[in-house]
Amino acid sequence: MRVLRLDSTQSLGVTLAVTLLLTLVGGCGRNYYRKKADREATRLVRQKSYNPRWQFCDFDVYPDQRSRLFSPYNPNDPPMPPDDPASHQYMRCVYGIKNFKKWRPNSPISSVENSEWLRLLPTYVPTNEEGQIVLDLPTAVTLARLNRREYRSEIETIYLSALDVAFERFAFDLKFAGGNDVIEQVQGDKPRAVIGATGPGTGNSFSVLDLRSNFEAERNLARGGSILVGAANSIVFNFAGPNHTNFATSILSFSVVRRFLQFGGKAFNLEPLTLVERRLLSNLRSWARFVNSLYLNVAYGIGTTDGIQRLGGFQGGAGLTGFSGVGQGGFGGVGQDLGVNTFGGGSLAGGGGGTGTGLAGGGEGTVGGYYGLIQVIYEIQRTQESLDAQLQTLGLLDALFEAGLIDPVQVDEFRQSIETERSNLLRRQVNFQDQFENFLVSTLNLPPSLPCVVDDSLLADFEFVDPRLMDANRELEGLLERTGRLPVKATKEQLDPMRDELSGVVHRVNDFFVVVARDLAELDGAAPERRKLIKTEAEREQFDVEIARLPDRIASLRERFRTNLARIDEFDAMESAGESAEAANFLVETIRRVKSQVSEIQLLDARLRLEKIYIVPVKLDFCEAFSIARQYRLDWMNARASVVDQWRLVDLNANRLKALLDLEVNGELGTVGNNPVRFRSPSSNLQARLTFRAPLNRFAEKNTFRQSLIDYQQTRRSYMGFVDQVSLGLRRELRQLDRLEKNLEIQRRALILSIRRVDLTLDELNQPFSPPLPGEPPQQLSPTLAQNLLAALADFRNTQNNFLSVWVNYEAIRLNLLFDLGLMRVNDDNLWIEEPFEQLVGEALAGLKCPVSCPPGGERPINAFYEQVEKYEDAVRDVGPIDETSAEGYLEVPPEIEDLAAFLDENEGESAPKRHDLDENETKIVKIGSKSASSEQADEPTTDMIAEPSEAAPKELPSWWNRLVGRLRGEKPENQIPIADRQEFLQRLGEIKSRLDEGERWHDVVVDLRMSPAEALAYQRAINSVMPEVIRQQPATTRHVEMIASTAEETKTVPLGSQTPPREDGTGTISETPPAKAWKPVEILPPSAPLSLEEDDTP
């Protein structure tokens, strides 16, 4: 047996090869690769979370251990879940072949959900004594965050999107590759048979072991191409045969490929990486919107957003494998899915006024989510109260029927109403259970059998009629009924129990004044916010007067009620004196007196509780809302990015239309002799290749390029639709908020009236009646008394439901408006961070990078009038005098003003200038100058100027302009032009500039100095060259309608207080007399307000 001998160099090579082979043959386990992927995804998500508005610092793809979705098993090798028995047979044996043994476990897990989640529930959610979960809004949000399947899926999509980024980044990293091949070849000494041989072969025996190793490093180039460097080694051992020599060789190689035209350039090669990087950022923004919308969904049932999408992983590939830029498989149309998620637009549920008879209406219906459950509970409570009141009154009606004071039809109608109310109550209770279980399953993703109760403590603020007062009224009604059945000479034993019961009611109601005082104190704290909701000054003054009277009314009522205690003592004295008949009558009278006062207390306390409930008014016009949304909405950012993504694909597919021009350089350097490290240049090899393919056949590429152009146009249109949908949603929400704000006050008044109606109807039912004359039947009560009572009770129930529905819908739309503006924020527990609305909007407006503006199309013309007139620099073109003796100028008619005139014509029927009213030869240029446009009688131009005489006359505004401005003012233009003294003008100009330099707002200066609009315009023009930004500082809520005034020479112009057409004689008139009626600021109407040309009453 021969002994294989290796020299030192060969021994080192074999050792390294074997070591490397043993190290890499097994690879790394599942756990290593899973954790490595987790680290890469987490690092990329944190890297993209640089902005606080879409931070996701606590990113974790694994569910919380408390979640129903958590899996306690090994994530690398999870056990088999429960299987269908019939289907499982094919996992044991398929086509007569025994299947994989691991697929036949002895004990699969019993359930796919976490078996410990129910046991852990009480550790983080509140429960009652019966072990039921007390479901309030924070608890519901927590349960949704832990158990919502959609919530977990969105996180996993972000995770996979991050892995796509990691894969595409890896394509431009330095990649290493290597391996070993072991080849053993043995041949005997007999000739080997060869098919097709023409003779016997030679029999040479040999035994060869060939160990081959290779190592490569490659990197792709951003401009197209790659660089590859490699090393290969081969060691051959000859154990038998004619040649027993061992031989070792090594080769170093490199390859450089550079693409210049087709498939070259950064626009082509970096596109996949650029796309996935931008998509990960977009997904993080979509996640931030999703967590905000999750709160809206749990609280109000508003649907969640759906904007998180992954581009990679097509047909199982990694990253953007298969990316071509068009078609479904090529990820074309990446920017077309710009679904807008605005949920404004009407109430969140159907309106209505409740069920049952009555007149009350105007409710907004129920919302979804947690507040929808609260609404249904409230409606059930009000229905139960209505049923109890009807049952309590039924006994009194029966007594009246027995006394012949009411006809049986009314009693039967009342009984029928009771049965109807019972049916309504049963239906509402069943509907609530269905809605609650649907909330558990659809919103929280919990089983419907989970023991839960809804925390309805929020409804305490909407219990306008205190249950204690209602119980006292029922007791008093029962007392009246029982006293009516007493004999004429009632005994002490019959009267004393009623006296004691009355005394108990009086003492309890007397103690209730403490609650009334508390409600009054809460109203005093809420009064400032309530005043903000009152539109007119007269109503605010009336509100203040009524609030100021409440303490005296309460004190007076309390003093009057305390006299009932003395009346009880007086009753005791009468009873002790043996005056039983007088005592019985006195007791009945006291009960009626107490009941009347309890009703008065009930109505007064309900007023206190009603008035202390307020909403946060939204003071925002559409243009401001649109500007805020344009900058702060995260989905709008994504929409703009998606359009650009699609735009880049045009260049990507245009690249394929070019000719192919590649440069490739390859080289090798080998060893000499039997030495694996002896590299010498004579054994080297170098090759260069330049490849060119003319673009003679680009049929498929042509179609692809054309499709990418169409995809981009479709994406542009989708973006336009997105902007329109955002505008529509904002306008709807602003209108709805304005309507709901007014409707809340309507329902507030309706509820007070309904309480008063119930009290008056019950008083009419309980009033004493005179005994009939001998031989005559008793005089019956009103034939509609029962119907009136049923209608009053129904309206009382419905107005309470309506008031709550309006308040809830307003809060839902207000929060949704914040969401649509991009200003809503939630904390780490996914709960809404409630901040003052005005503060949020103010900060947002202050942070705008662009000035407030309306979308294409703008506001309605009347609302945009100020913005158009404000651009007087563009509307007025002063070309100066034509010659030294002429003062003619030209006033260009702005198209916006023409459109406004046409709009006023259509809506008011008045004559106004239109395009066809202008001289076509002048091309929308109206010539104005020394003579009147309407009269040619004057022979000389007006020469009245201020301070210094001048030949230049002030330009006259055309008649169409004056008619337009006059109609906006609601009055005819003045006939004379007031002009100020030049010296006074210069002094005032210095004062204005000084105040503006100190930071005072232009609008405040105008109001403080009581300038007319024309004067304000003149001063603006005078300081425009020094402080051009001043005219942009006026607030958006109050605008001045300004008349355009100009003179021939800018440097010598004295501003005019107002300008009107000259008199009929053609000579202009200059007067020091101020106008009879000064112009007033015109309020810009909100989107929900109707168009109006009336003047604002603001001083």
Query: Tens digits of per-residue pLDDT, 133-185?
Result: 999 999 999 999 999 999 999 999 999 999 999 999 999 999 999 888 888 88
Note whether residue 542 is domain-resident: yes
Q: How far is CA 452 from the centre of its chain?
A: 30
Q: How many domains are contained in the chain? A: 3
Number of CB atoms found within 10 A of residue 810's CB: 23
Give dist(CA 1057, CA 1062) in Å, integer: 15
**Domain-terminating residue out of 792, 821, 850:** 821
Q: How far apart are CA 648 and CA 168, in angstroms?
A: 17
What burial class does residue 238 get, using C-beta atoms within 10 Å of its C-beta: 0-12 exposed, 13-18 middle, 19+ buried? middle
Give which of 712, 715, 718, 707 is closest to 324, Cα–Cα. Answer: 707
Whether residue 1091 has pLDDT greater than 50: no
Q: Are residues 781 and 680 in the same domain?
A: no
58-67, 165-174, 996-1005, 1060-1069: least confidently modelled range: 1060-1069
CB 87 within 8 A of CB 37: no
> Per residue in 602-626, pLDDT tens?
888 888 998 889 888 898 999 999 9
The C-alpha angle with vertex 90 and arms to 87 and 96, in degrees rounded to 5, equals 155
Do 1016 and 890 have their domain in common?
Answer: yes
Which domain-ending residue is among 788, 821, 854? 821
CA angle 515, 589, 764 (to 5 degrees): 80
Measured distance CA(212)–CA(1040) in Å, rounded? 89
Q: Quick check: 679 pLDDT over 70?
A: yes
Confidence of residue 491 (pLDDT cuts 50, 70, 90): confident
What is the spatial distance between Cα 29 and Cα 639, in angstroms, rounded to a whole number? Answer: 42
Instruction: Please name the residue that has the structure tokens 């070259």.
Output: 264
Per-residue pLDDT, averaged over 755-765, amounts to: 82
Is the pLDDT confidence value at 971 over 90? no
| pLDDT at 922 (0 to 100) | 34
Contact 1057, 1074 (CB under 8 A): yes
Tell me: pLDDT of 722 over 50: yes
Range of lowest pLDDT (112-121, 676-685, 990-999): 990-999
Q: Is 225 left (phi over 0), alpha (psi -120 to 50) or beta?
A: left
Under 8 Å between Cβ of 799 and 376? no
Nearest CA to 665 among 642, 649, 645, 689? 689
Q: CA–CA separation, 737 vs 433, rounded Å?
A: 31
Say if residue 684 is in the same domain as residue 738: no
Q: Are residues 256 and 376 in the same domain?
A: no
Q: Residue 912 domain-assigned? A: yes
Q: Are 265 and 32 in contact (CB under 8 A)?
A: no
Is the confidence at residue 918, as pLDDT, over 60? no
Angle (deg, nearest 10), helices 785-821 and 271-300 = 160
Tell me: do 687 and 738 sit in the same domain: no
Rounded Cα–Cα distance for residues 894 and 872 (Å) = 9
Per the domain annotation, does 278 fall within a domain? no
List 927's β-bridge partners, or say none: 890
Can you give the pLDDT at residue 805? 94
Q: Is residue 784 part of a domain?
A: yes
Question: Residue 877 in contact with residue 892, Cβ under 8 Å?
Answer: yes
Q: What is d(CA 993, CA 67) in angstroms, rounded to the nearest whole number?
A: 66
Report yes or no on 362 lying in a domain: no
615 and 683, same domain (yes or no): no
Full residue range of the structural domain in which residue 685 is found: 173-192+202-221+225-262+660-693
* DSSP tag of 439: I
| Confidence band, pLDDT 50/70/90 cuts, at residue 1014 | low
Residue 713 located in a structural domain:
no
Asked if residue 44 belongs to a domain, the reply is no
* 360-414 tens-digit pLDDT: 566 788 899 999 999 999 999 999 988 988 887 887 788 778 777 888 888 888 8
Task: Examine the domain organization and report whether 399 and 503 are in the same domain.
Answer: yes
Q: What is the pLDDT of residue 1030?
A: 39
788 in a domain, yes or no? yes
CA-to-CA distance for 856 and 372, rounded, in angstroms?
Answer: 37
Distance (Å) of CA 626 to CA 290, 813, 822, 851, 856: 21, 16, 11, 11, 11
Mean pLDDT of 802-815: 94
Residue 1031: both structure tokens together: 């005219």
Please indicate, yes or no, whether residues 1015 and 1063 belong to a single structural domain of this protein. Answer: yes
Same-domain pairing of 457 and 561 = yes
Handedness of CA 718, 719, 724, 728 (dihedral sign): positive
Strand partners, 977: 1070
Tokens of 32: 């290593």
pLDDT at 302 over 80: yes
- Count of CB atoms within 10 A of residue 445's CB? 19
Q: Does 911 share its domain with 1048?
A: yes
Indicate the pLDDT class of residue 816, thresholds 50, 70 and 90. Answer: very high
Q: Per-residue pLDDT averaged across 42-46, rounded?
A: 94
Counted residue by residue, the chain has a size of 1099
What CA–CA distances, in Å, run from 1034 to 1001, 1012, 1039? 7, 15, 7
Same domain, 373 and 451: yes
Maximal C-alpha separation, the chain: 155
User: Please, which pLDDT band fits residue 857 given cuts at 50, 70 and 90?
Assistant: low
- Per the CB < 8 A criterion, the answer to whether 809 and 349 are in contact is yes
Going by the DSSP 8-state scheme, the letter that residue 958 receives in this structure is P
Q: Highest-confidence range of 56-60, 387-391, 436-440, by mean pLDDT?
A: 436-440
Average model confidence (pLDDT) across the chain: 76
pLDDT band at 812 (very low <50, low <70, confident <90, very high): very high
**577 and 665 together in one domain:** no
Q: From residue 73, give the alpha-carbon distance in Å to each of 147, 561, 996, 1020.
A: 18, 71, 71, 75
